[in-house]
Every structure is written in structure tokens, then in C-alpha cells.
Amino acid sequence: FCPCHGSHYDTSGRIRKGPAPKNLEIPPYQFVSDSRIKIG
């Protein structure tokens, strides 16, 4: 949920409802180990 304009997104960042013009962006990431992911 975005408090700024009321859009709703699913767990993948896709728009489900609201005025948002596009899906959320996926930030850069890399797998550091089998149990860790570095985001950003």
C-alpha cells in the first residue's frame, strides 16, 4: 500500500489497484551466499 496516492501492490511489486502508472522497480541485487542476498 502506498500512503501517498493509495495504490496497492502484490508481493512482487505489481500494481493491484490504484492510480500508480507502473509496477515497482526491482533494485539491483546479488547472492552473497546460499542464505544471503545483498540488495542495493
pLDDT tens track for 8-31: 999 989 999 989 999 999 899 999
Residue 16, classed as helix, strand or coil, is strand
pTM of the entire structure? 0.58
- Extended strands (E) in the chain: 8-9, 15-17, 29-33, 36-39
**Residue 23 vs residue 4, higher pLDDT:** 23
Position 34 confidence tier, pLDDT thresholds 50, 70, 90: very high
Task: Give yes or no: 8 in active site.
Answer: no
By the 8 A CB rule, do 17 and 23 touch? Answer: no
Check 3, 5, 28, 35 and give the catalytic one: 5
**29 secondary structure, DSSP code:** E
